[in-house]
């Protein structure tokens, strides 16, 4: 008989509502495949018709795996990340995130999922300008209900790890681009997410600073056992990940060394 299960094995039992059963550092979450996406499709309206940006994207990211996502501008990389983050919904396809069918979760559960298990890093840092670096890093912990003491300890250790000892009390506009992006990385990793999504995290940095920041991100994600999907236009950056994939004509394919964006 044909095996119709989308990923060969059934997902682990679902535990709803997430609010009651999901703790911020749920050990079960760490052992589940972070991303199992099959046939993801996304259309956007274009005049009287629509444009298909993602046309059946399949992607699996294993626990602790780092994957670089390459593709020309407009190929749909940010669209894909937004689907994986639950910020946007696919028009078709299956998206099992840490064992849970994200495409079928209610808005509230998707928000909780994002808050507890995902870290997101943007090209433009997106730090909150009215909070200090340390407060920015501590924000996800506060939202997840950490105590003040535990938050302070965690923030201090992350800032030290990312070579930001002096930066904790500074507001973002007093930090260099590389420093701001390291604060953004610390913020994305603070709550020990199982999956980190980074959308061109080095796009606003010079190549030397960008390379350094990406090394830190990869090293820190590896040490923390986090899976990482990082969008980049740099082949040098992409080569540092465990694996490369390329988005082209709405489909995802395995990347090779001949690619350059
Ligand atoms: N909200 C939207 N409404 C309509 N079209 C959209 C929307 N968001 C994205 N698009 C279109 O979808 C396509 C893919 O956009 P996306 O931002 O995902 O590309 P990208 O690969 O991230 O590009 P870049 O490398 O420039 O960041 C583009 O043609 C874009 O114009
Ligand atoms: Mg983009």
Ranges of residues in the chain whose predicted pLDDT is under 50: 1-24, 29, 261
Ligand index nearest the alpha carbon of residue 246:
1
In the structure encoding, which two tokens stand for residue 217, read together? 């991100």
Backbone angles phi, psi at 38, to 5 degrees: -140, 125
Predicted local confidence at residue 41, as pLDDT? 96
Report which of 230, 235, 204 is spatially closest to residue 119, judged by C-alpha positions: 230
In the structure encoding, which two tokens stand for residue 74, read together? 């407009």
Q: How far is CA 47 from CA 44, 50, 51, 91, 195, in A?
A: 10, 7, 9, 18, 36
Ligand index nearest the alpha carbon of residue 249:
1
Domain residue spans of the chain? 22-254
For the domain bounded by 22-254, which CATH number is listed? 3.40.50.300
In the structure encoding, which two tokens stand for residue 89, read together? 């919904």
Predicted local confidence at residue 11, as pLDDT? 41
Q: What residue's CA is closest to ligand 1, atom 31?
A: 74
Contact 253, 97 (CB under 8 A): no
Contact 68, 237 (CB under 8 A): yes
Predicted local confidence at residue 256, as pLDDT? 60
Predicted local confidence at residue 26, as pLDDT? 52
pLDDT tens, position by position, 227-245: 999 998 888 878 889 999 9
Q: What is the pTM of this model?
A: 0.85
Q: What residue's CA is closest to ligand 1, atom 5?
A: 44
94 CA distance to ligand 2 middle (Å): 22
Sheet containing strand 100-101, edge to edge, reads 49-61, 35-46, 92-97, 100-101
Residue 130 and residue 138: Cα distance in Å, rounded?
14
Ligand index nearest the alpha carbon of residue 122:
2
Protein residues whose CB sits closer than 6 Å to any atom of ligand 1: 44, 53, 71, 73-79
77 CA distance to ligand 1 middle (Å): 8
Average pLDDT over the chain, rounded to an integer: 85
């Amino acid at each position: 008989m044909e095996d119709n299960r989308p990923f060969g094995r059934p997902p682990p039992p679902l535990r709803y509502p997430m609010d009651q059963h999901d703790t911020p550092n749920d050990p079960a979450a760490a052992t589940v495949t972070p991303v199992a996406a099959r046939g993801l499709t996304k259309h956007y309206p274009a005049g009287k018709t629509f444009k298909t940006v993602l046309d059946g994207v399949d992607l699996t990211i294993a626990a602790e795996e780092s994957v670089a996502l390459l593709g020309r501008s407009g190929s749909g990389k940010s669209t894909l990340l937004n689907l994986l983050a639950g910020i946007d919904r696919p028009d078709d396809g299956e998206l099992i995130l840490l064992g849970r069918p994200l495409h079928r979760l209610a808005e509230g559960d998707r928000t909780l999922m994002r808050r507890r298990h995902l870290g997101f890093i943007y090209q433009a840092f997106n730090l909150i300008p009215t909070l200090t670096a340390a407060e920015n890093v501590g924000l996800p912990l506060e939202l997840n209900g950490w105590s003040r003491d535990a938050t302070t300890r965690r923030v201090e250790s992350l800032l030290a790890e990312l070579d930001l000892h002096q930066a904790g009390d500074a507001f973002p506009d007093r930090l260099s681009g590389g420093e701001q992006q390291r604060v953004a990385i610390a913020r994305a990793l603070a709550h020990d997410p199982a999956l980190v999504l980074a959308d061109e995290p080095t796009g606003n940095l010079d190549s030397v600073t960008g390379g350094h920041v990406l090394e830190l991100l990869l090293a820190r994600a590896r040490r923390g056992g986090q899976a990482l999907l990082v969008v980049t236009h740099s082949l040098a950056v992409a080569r540092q990940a465990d694996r490369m994939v390329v988005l082209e004509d709405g489909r995802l394919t395995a990347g090779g060394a001949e690619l350059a964006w």
